[in-house]
Amino acid sequence: MLKSTLSALLLGLALSVRAIPPAPPKNPFFAASILPYQLPPFDKIKDADFKPAFEDGMARQRKEADAIAHDPAPATFENTIVALERSGRLLTRVSKVFFNLNASNTDDEMQKIEAEMSPKLAAHQDAINLDSALFARIETLYKQRDNLGLDAESAQLLDRYYKQFVRAGARLSETDKTELKKIDEELSTFQTKFEQNLLKNVKSNAVVVDSVAELDGLSAEEIGAAAEAAKAGGKPGKWLISLQNTTIQPALTHMKNRALRERIYRASISRGIDGEADNTMVASTIVALRARQAALLGYPNYAAYALEDEGAKTPEAVNKMLSGLGKAALSKAKVEAKEIQQLIDSQAKSARAKSFKLQPWDWAFYAEQVRKDRFAFDDAQVKPYFELDHVLKDGVFYAAHELYGLTFKERKDLPLYRPDARLFEVFDADGSALGLLIRDDYKRDNKNGGAWMDSFVDQTGLFETKPVVINNLNISKPPAGQPVLLTFDEVSTMFHEFGHALHGLFSHVKYPLLCGTSVPPDFVEYPSQFNEMWARDASVLAHFAKDYRTGAAMPKELLDKVLAAQTYGEGYATDEYLEAAMVDQSWHQLPPGKPVPAAKDVAAFDAKILKKAGMAFAPVPPRYHTPYFAHAFSGGYPAGYYAYIWSEVLARDTGYWFKTHGGISRANGDYFRAKILSRGRTLEPGDLFEQFYGQAPNIEPLLEYRGLAMPKKQ
């Protein structure tokens, strides 16, 4: 996942025209960092620095924008568009650090700052986007665009500015602008509240276990991590099962105690319902506000507004894709459920016990047994071959070297915000410095759930800056001295997030608005999902899948089984994802003026839309229910959760292209880098893809990759 909070807040505006008196130098944000690559001086940054930097940064940028808007000289590309790109450097610096740290290493003070600053930042953004004089200059240039003699990237920049201002409401009446400003401020407040409630619920809904016997089935490392989590939470002598931000929790895969499995499941799905951190009312309010916003801007619903600027373009296109995939996924999930039920019945009969009907908290546990029986291995056999450092250096970094010629050097001489975060300097094939990669791999209570990439510094030719990017995971940290052993899903996630990192590191763009991962969600997930394929590539797997104790390679027989097993369970995995995507779309396709379901009806709404779509299948709940659906309500993907599967169509087509062109090689990697990874949004995503692939996307490679393709008729 890519975090886009900063992009949403600033809309890519970055201004600096008139000299502003410098603020006191004691605040580390008031001048660019002097560290290599302008790495933030984490050792000097304090919570007290953020608010003054935000306030001064907004004031400076507003003065800069005013100077541009009221420049007596006629509008030119340089004095208007490039000037906008040069503005807001201080605000960009503090925003990037604050929102990154607030996601990965927050505290009470930062959450207070977020609650206070979010509506102010929304108002600041509106003050610029809704400035009539500023928009008039942009519109004048846009109407003259064919006669300005602009190069392709500059022409794209002008086009993006014009569309962003229009989509932000620049053409509205003053009365409607006032209403839109109010909506935007309220949205920022409620989205922040949703995110903060979610973090509170992760803590409050964690499951405390009194006896280690109840944890039968978990590995020694997992039990140790649970003990450490309980100790850190003030409950020494107990075990704490922390919740990740999905419906089904990882511990359910191996936990033998069915009652505890159900307890964990119910703790998971009850998050955000009732209590101090109730998100049902918050979600309902957000949907109503977004519907009003869309109506003001002239759209039939919020999804139509959001998707217009995406690759998908329309809700109808998304609905068609989700529905078409849903039939194949549900059909496969029902086959998998039947196999699991047969196993449950068989085990009950052998034990002379009463059988039971498959429930959501049973699926992962018994699916793992089916997989183990079918492919003769389980995670416990595989995990010793997936030690984190080996996977990173001999897998993720190795594939990047083979494809792009990259090398990596760990730096321990530069400050980071946590002692267990890591920093790598990245070098290009010719030995030149490319940028920095920060890794923050471990789960903790003050960190958002899931996995994501973001940046502290973006690559731009305009400012001659090189990228500083970060990958965040949520791996359970074992006790000191114990190895960090991964499941294959966690291995795939490492490759996925590194695909985002490459998209940021390889950016070769002049303007900030167009650089790196500044592309629509249904394209930004494309490079990351493509990069996942190298976790399954036999040559890459053989290079990193080695026993951490002996260095022995994973036996070929086991390696073959791991690869063959990857399509098992894809019915379930695709089904739970599509259900969540349909929930997201249904909320955001509600028309303005129609009553939004009240807080008490939120859960029923989720169930109703899945039933209407023909996707209601009790053993497979949606990956996210509304009260903890961060992507849709606070994570920057409203009406955009479909983007993962849309992007994966492009990713699997790209995998097919690599396969037909000889697989992993420098020639293929360099071509993909030149056509996709380095281009940012210097061209519209659909055009970039067709220039690379030579034709429109095809869904068949995705169905084959996920094992959902129907058998071909003879």
Report the candidate in 414, 417, 437 with the shortest Cα–Cα distance to residue 105: 417
Strands (E), 348-421: 407-410
Q: Are 420 and 477 in contact (CB under 8 A)?
A: yes
Both structure tokens of 583: 């929930």
Both structure tokens of 131: 């400035």
CA atoms within 13 A on the CB side of 374: 18
Active site residue 497: yes
Would you say how long the chain is, in residues? Answer: 714
DSSP characters over 165-229: HHHTTTTS-HHHHHHHHHHHHHHHHHHHHHHHHHHHHHHHTPEEES-GGGGTTS-HHHHHHHHHH
Q: What are phi and psi of 456, to 5 degrees?
A: -95, -30
Q: Are 359 and 266 in contact (CB under 8 A)?
A: no
Residue ranges of alpha helices (H) inside 517-595 are 521-531, 533-536, 538-544, 556-564, 570-588
Q: Are 514 and 157 in contact (CB under 8 A)?
A: yes
Q: List, as own/partner pairs, every contact residues 610-616 make where C-beta atoms lie below 8 angstroms and the sequence separation is at least 24, other chains included.
A: 610/579, 610/582, 610/583, 613/323, 613/326, 613/582, 614/326, 614/330, 615/326, 615/330, 615/575, 615/578, 615/579, 615/582
Q: Which are the contacts of 123, defined by CB distance < 8 A and separation ≥ 6? A: 181, 184, 185
Both structure tokens of 16: 């600096």
Q: How far is CA 252 from the centre of its chain?
A: 24
Q: Which are the contacts of 308, defined by CB distance < 8 A and separation ≥ 6? A: 167, 299, 314
Residue 396 to residues 345, 408, 498, 502, Cα–Cα distance (Å) = 42, 11, 7, 11
Which of the following is catalytic: 497, 525, 532, 576? 497
Q: Are 447 and 472 in contact (CB under 8 A)?
A: yes
Residue 519 to residues 185, 513, 515, Cα–Cα distance (Å) = 24, 9, 8
DSSP characters over 597-618: PPGGGHHHHHHHHHHHTT---T
Q: Which are the contacts of 439, defined by CB distance < 8 A and separation ≥ 6? A: 392, 421, 422, 423, 424, 470, 471, 473
Beta bridge partners, 435, equal 426
Active site members: 497
